Amino acid sequence: MDMKTILNELDQIEDIPTLPVIAMEANKMLMDYNTSTKKLKQIIEKDQAMVPRMLKLVNSSFFGFQSRISNIEHAIVILGFNMIRNMIVSVSIIEAFSGKKGLKDFDMTRFWTHSVAVAVTSKYLSLKTRLHVHEDSFTAGLLHDIGKIVLFQYFHDFFIKAWRSSKENDISFYDAEKREIPADHAQIGAHLAWKWQFPAGLVDTIRWHHDVKEDVFDYNLLIIVHVADKIVNSLMSDSKKEIDLSGIYPDARKKMSSQLETAKDWFPQVNIEIQSACELFLNQL
Ligand SMILES: [Fe+2]
Ligand SMILES: [Fe+2]
């Protein structure tokens, strides 16, 4: 089987998660900076299940507002348009993938914890470097490894083959994928993101987060997620560990040198935010 075949097969799978209408619409708005608050409110209110969920999220301790936010319009005004539409996309995606059966060996909580960690760290990096809008960085970080779930769920034998090889040869899962199977999680995830009509910058970020290249749609978004992934992989389990700089694309390393040099100082604080973001997004798992 080659890569084309695997992606073709992916297109044939009937129960592949489709995004709920509301996420598709929120996602379309990600590309359209002229959408009004009123339009966003209308879209949310069309999906009655989404209204109480969004209100629960915005009133959670993660945001720490003193007074209660009781309607969507208020939530949009306070949290901002970008935050709300990104939250809709995030919540819908986590939900679309988490309710699926046949995932018993896949540690969903661990997967999403990593994804949320990269999301929060991407947000931090874009706020500090001003390389990108931080809400979009959060979403890109959250979705960067989405291909792994698809690989696990629909190409299970390939997943296991790569996973075993990574353990046996003591190499990264990504290196094992490239060695053992016809398509890796970056290719698969990007294909799905493209099918979902995600913005091109997001598709490219999912596609190239391990092998950075410069002629992509949104280079700054890509390097933020790329660096956040490396930081999380180094520091999440052991905050005293050194970050393996050699795995980081040289130009990204240069652009974020001060954040990389001080990562051990700021990451513990970001880690606290990661924990509360996990509580917020993952309590539905
Ligand atoms: Fe990855
Ligand atoms: Fe990752």
CA atoms of 15 and 99, how far apart (whole Å): 12
Domain assignment present for 8: no
Closest residue by Cα to residue 221 from 279, 136, 158: 136
* Whether residues 232 and 281 fall in one domain: yes
Q: Same structural domain for residues 144 and 174?
A: yes
Specify if 43 maps to a domain: yes
Q: What local confidence, expressed as pLDDT, does residue 58 receive?
A: 84
Q: Does residue 1 lie in a domain region?
A: no
pLDDT of residue 103: 56
Alpha-carbon radius of gyration of the chain: 19
Q: Which ranges of the chain does DSSP label H, i.e. alpha helix?
A: 3-12, 21-31, 37-46, 50-58, 72-79, 81-98, 108-129, 134-143, 146-154, 156-168, 173-180, 185-195, 200-208, 219-235, 250-255, 257-261, 263-282
**84 lies in the same domain as 153:** no
Nearest to 90 by CA among 68, 110, 66, 118: 118
Kindly state whether residue 3 falls inside one of the protein's structural domains.
no
**Is the domain of 57 the same as that of 131?**
no
Burial of 224 (0-12, 13-18, 19+ CB in 10 A): buried
Domain extent for 235 = 105-285
pLDDT at 31 (0 to 100): 65
Which of the ligands is closest to the CA of residue 174?
Answer: 1
Q: How far is the CA of 150 from the centre of ligand 1 (A)?
A: 13
Q: How many domains does the chain have?
A: 2
Q: Which ligand is nearest to the CA of 119?
A: 2
Tell the residue number behind the tokens 């993952």, with chain if given: 282
pTM of the full structure: 0.86
pLDDT tens, N- to C-terminus, the chain (285 residues): 788 888 888 888 777 766 666 677 776 766 676 777 788 888 888 877 788 888 888 887 777 778 888 888 888 888 887 788 788 888 888 777 776 555 566 778 888 899 999 999 999 999 999 998 878 899 899 999 999 988 988 898 999 999 999 999 999 999 999 999 999 999 999 998 898 888 899 999 999 999 999 999 999 999 999 999 999 999 987 777 788 888 899 999 999 999 999 999 999 999 988 988 887 777 655
Residue 130 lies in a domain: yes
7 within a domain of the structure (yes/no): no
The reply to whether 147 and 275 lie within a common domain is: yes
Residues with CB under 5 A from ligand 2 (ion): 145, 229
Instruction: Note the pLDDT of residue 164.
Output: 93
* Closest ligand by atom to 230 CA: 2
Residues 78 and 202 in one domain: no
Ligand found nearest the CA of 209: 1
pLDDT value of residue 133: 81
> Does 217 share its domain with 113?
yes
Say yes or no: 46 and 116 in one domain. no
For residues 142 and 135, give the distance between their C-alpha atoms in angstroms, rounded to a whole number. 11
94 and 109 within one domain: no
Q: Answer yes or no: do 160 and 223 share one domain.
A: yes
